Amino acid sequence: MFYITWMVFFNFYLSHWEKYNTGVLYLPWGYDLSMWGSTFMFLITYIGTYTMWKAPFPFGLTSGAVMEAVLHVCALSSLPMSLYNIYHSYRSKTGKMRPPLEALRPLLPFATFFVIFMVWVHKSPTNIMEREPRGLFLLSGTIFSNISCRLIVAQMSSTRCEAVHWMTPIFVAGILLGMSFPSLELLILYALCVGTTLSHWHYGSRVVQQLCHKFNRVCFGVGPAKAQ
C-alpha cells in the first residue's frame, strides 16, 4: 500500500510539474483511475476481507499483486501524455522554454524524499512500516503536501522552484540516527511527524497572509482589508 500511495503522489505531482513547464494544468485520467482503483480496493477488502487477496492467479500470481500492478499501470499511464505536452510546448514555443536542467528541477525534491522513504522502510532496524504504519503514512503525506504546495506557488508566481527542500537534511539526520539507535526510531518518527506538520501549517498560513497583504483582503472575506 505504501508503494501505491507514492504512485498516487507521483501522478499528482506530475501534472503540476507539467504545468511548471507548459503553463497549462492538465489533470490526467491516470490520476482519477488510480484514485478510483484505490477506493475499490479498500471497498472490496471491506466486503470480502483481506483473505480474498490471497486467491491464486495463473502463473503463481496473487490477486493482491495483480491489483497493485493495475494501479501502478493506471498511475503511470499519464506519464507519456505529460512528456508529450511538454515536448509540444517546446516545439510550438508556447511553454516556459526553460533549459532541460531547469525543467527537471521540480522533480528533485520529490525524488529525494521518495528515495529517503524507500531506504528507511527497507532498512529500518525495527521494521517501522509494520510497527507504526499510520505515522509513516502521515509523515510521507505531509511532506509530499508541502513540496507540492511549494511547486504550485512557484508555478503560479512564475518563480524558480527549489531543488532541495529545507527539511531534507533533518530527515536524513533523523533516519540515520534511528538506524544507529533502533530504540529511538519510533520517537524520531513521531518527532518528524510533529515537526513536518507544524512546518506545513506555518508555510500555508504565511502564504495566505502574504496574499491577503498583497491584494488587501481579509482571509475568508470578500471585502478589502482597509480603505484604499
- CA dihedral of residues 166, 100, 24, 12 (deg, nearest 10): -50
Q: How far apart are CA 110 and CA 198, in angstroms?
A: 20
Q: How far apart are CA 103 and CA 213, in angstroms?
A: 31
What pLDDT, on the 0 to 100 scale, is given for residue 44?
A: 82
85 and 9 in a common domain:
yes
**Beta carbons of 43 and 151 less than 8 angstroms apart:** no
Task: Report H helices in 93-184.
Answer: 100-104, 107-123, 128-131, 133-157, 168-180
Average pLDDT over residues 61-80: 77
3 and 68 in a common domain:
yes
Report which listed range, 14-23, 167-176, 216-225, is most confident.
167-176
| Angle at CA of residue 107, ends 101 and 112, nearest 5° | 115
**Beta carbons of 14 and 78 less than 8 angstroms apart:** yes
Average pLDDT over residues 60-72: 76
What pLDDT, on the 0 to 100 scale, is given for residue 4?
A: 82
Last-in-domain residue among 52, 68, 97? 97
Domain hosting 77: range is: 1-97
Annotate 98-137 with b (16+ C-beta within 10 A) or e (fewer).
Answer: beeeebebbbbbbebbbebbeebbeebebebbeebeebbe
Q: For the ranges 127-141, 192-206, 207-221, which has the lowest average pLDDT? A: 207-221
103 and 85 in a common domain:
no
Last-in-domain residue among 53, 76, 97? 97
In a domain, 90, yes or no: yes
Q: What single DSSP character describes residue 218?
A: -
Non-local CB neighbours of 127 within 8 Å, separated by 6+ positions? none
146 and 49 in a common domain:
no
In a domain, 127, yes or no: yes
Condensed to tens digits (0 to 9), the pLDDT of residues 183-198 reads 999 999 999 999 999 9
Q: For the ranges 48-57, 131-140, 145-154, which has the lowest average pLDDT? A: 48-57
CB atoms within 10 A of CB 56: 9
Query: H/E element holding 27?
Result: none
205 and 105 in a common domain:
yes
Last-in-domain residue among 48, 75, 97? 97
108 and 14 in a common domain:
no
Number of domains forming the structure of the chain: 2
pLDDT at residue 31 tops 90: no
In a domain, 224, yes or no: no
pLDDT at residue 64 tops 80: no
DSSP string of 83-115, one letter each residue: HHHHHHHHHHT-S----HHHHHTTHHHHHHHHH
**Beta carbons of 90 and 98 less than 8 angstroms apart:** no
Q: For the ranges 88-102, 112-126, 206-220, which has the lowest average pLDDT? A: 206-220
In a domain, 226, yes or no: no
pLDDT band per the 50, 70, 90 thresholds, residue 66: confident
| Angle at CA of residue 54, ends 7 and 121, nearest 5° | 40
Pick the more confident residue, 78 or 9.
9
